[in-house]
Amino acid sequence: MSDIVVLGIFNADTAYHADRMPRLGETVLGSGFVLGPGGKGSNQAVAAAKAGGDVTIVTRLGADAFADLGRATWAEAGVKSAVTVDAESHTGAAFIFLQNGTGENAIIVSPGAAGRIDVAEIDSRAALIGGAKVFITQLEQPIPAAHRALQIARAGGARTILNPAPAAALDDAMLALCDYITPNESEAEGLTGLPVTTLAEAEAAADALMARGVGAVVMTLGAKGALYRDRTRSVHVPAVTAGPVVDTTGAGDAFNGGFAVALTEGRDVVEAVRFGCATAGISVTRPGAATASPRRAEIEALLARG
């Protein structure tokens, strides 16, 4: 049993640094390459554990070298795991283009084994998922698996977080199982069909999500921080800056991991959003995804600096 249970995928991130993406049929020379641990679910689990959470990840891996990277990453961060090994597929892998100068990225994910997680597998983890204080998932594994896990978590009394990434069409029954949904601006646009370029538009998109059954919306706004909005409160939490931006990969995951930890500790939700912003604020100053997330003491020191 763990306070925080994450359903999600692990990827080996293959990150290529270059000035720009190649066009179809074109080759461009890059300026660097890094292989490291990624996958939104795994990144969130690692970020939460490093921030002081008691965390278990539920996932599927292949029987290959990338799986070893996943296990080593979790061991170092203190993440427990409930893993199905699927030798008929591969461990998740991600191509990441990292733009020189801006740290912005573009990603292709191939979930492999984790793309085969089904409802029966989720049911076999019901005791773990139903026993969590906070349950969090994303959309890199199949949506029916995420939906079923949210049902189990809600029935068990967990607070449920859906990080709707990558963006996908979701039905209202699934949204109604989410105490918190944590889209970024483009995911909020994808879910609602509304533009999200200003704070007022972010608030309108949050209202549209709540009208579909979500409990509260925590929208990450990149350099502008995050919007927390429920039916009685609407708070813009500014970004917590820790230094120059080096790599934004996994910043949203760091946010979600930090947010989940603060919620399990019983903090007010806006304080939890601020804790998430600080976690993400440090992660973007470092290269990589899971490797960039900060330890608890670093987050507290940044928040103490105001």
For residue 264, the number of C-alpha atoms closer than 13 Å in the C-beta half-sphere is 24
Stretch of 60-68, 173-181, 245-253, 293-301 contacting ligand RIB, by CB under 6 A: 245-253
Q: How far is the CB of 288 from ligand RIB (least distance, A)?
A: 8
Output the smallest distance, CB 278 to ligand RIB, in A.
Answer: 18
CB of 152 to ligand RIB, least distance (A): 23
Sole binder of ligand RIB in the list 289, 292, 299, 302 (CB under 6 A): 289
CB of 39 vs ligand RIB, minimal distance in Å: 5
| Helix locations, 236-305, DSSP H | 251-264, 269-283, 296-304
CA distance readout (Å), 5 to 79, 108, 226, 259, 288: 10, 25, 23, 13, 23
Question: Exactly one of 2, 91, 249, 293 binds ligand RIB (CB under 6 A); which one?
Answer: 249
Q: Does 38 bind ligand RIB (CB under 6 A)?
A: yes
The verdict on 43 binding ligand RIB (CB under 6 A) reads yes
Cβ atoms of 63 and 87 closer than 8 Å: yes
Please report whether residue 13 would count as binding ligand RIB according to CB under 6 A: yes
Q: How far is the CB of 253 from ligand RIB (least distance, A)?
A: 5
- List 164, 250, 257, 294, residue binding ligand RIB (CB under 6 A): 250
Piece of the chain touching ligand RIB by CB under 6 A; list 37-45, 171-179, 195-203, 273-281: 37-45
Per rule CB under 6 A, is residue 151 in the interface with ligand RIB? no
Sheet with strand 11-18: strands edge to edge: 32-38, 11-18, 92-99, 105-110
Considering only the stretches 60-68, 192-200, 206-214, 248-256, report the one whose residues sit in contact with ligand RIB under the rule CB under 6 A.
Answer: 248-256
Instruction: Tell me whether residue 82 is exposed, middle or buried, using C-beta atoms within 10 angstroms of its C-beta: 0 to 12, 13 to 18, 19 or more.
Output: middle
Is the alpha carbon torsion for 107, 110, 111, 115 positive or negative?
positive
Q: How far is the CB of 204 from ligand RIB (least distance, A)?
A: 26
- Name the residue among 228, 246, 244, 247 with its Cα closest to residue 236: 228
Q: Name the closest residue to ligand RIB (Cβ).
A: 38
Q: Which two tokens stand for residue 253?
A: 């995951």
Does 253 qualify as catalytic in the annotation?
Answer: yes
Q: Which residues pair with 220 in a beta bridge?
A: 184, 226
| Phi, then psi, of 148 in degrees rounded to 5 | -65, -40
Q: Are 94 and 109 in contact (CB under 8 A)?
A: yes
Residue 48 CB, nearest approach to ligand RIB (Å): 14
Binding mask 103-122 for ligand RIB (x = CB under 6 A): ----x-x-------------
Q: Indicate the residue among 9 and 175 with the shorter CB distance to ligand RIB.
A: 9
**Interface with ligand RIB: number of residues (CB under 6 A):** 15
Which residue, 2 or 249, is less far from ligand RIB as judged by CB? 249
Among 215, 253, 269, 275, binds ligand RIB (CB under 6 A): 253
| SS3 category, 87 | coil
In the structure encoding, which two tokens stand for residue 57, read together? 């990840």
Other CB atoms within a 10 A radius of the CB of residue 222 amount to 17
| Closest by CA position to 269, among listed 218, 231, 219 | 218
The residues assigned a catalytic role are: 253
* Residues of the shown chain interacting with ligand RIB in the complex, contacts defined by CB under 6 A: 11, 13, 38-40, 43, 94, 107, 109, 140, 249-250, 252-253, 289
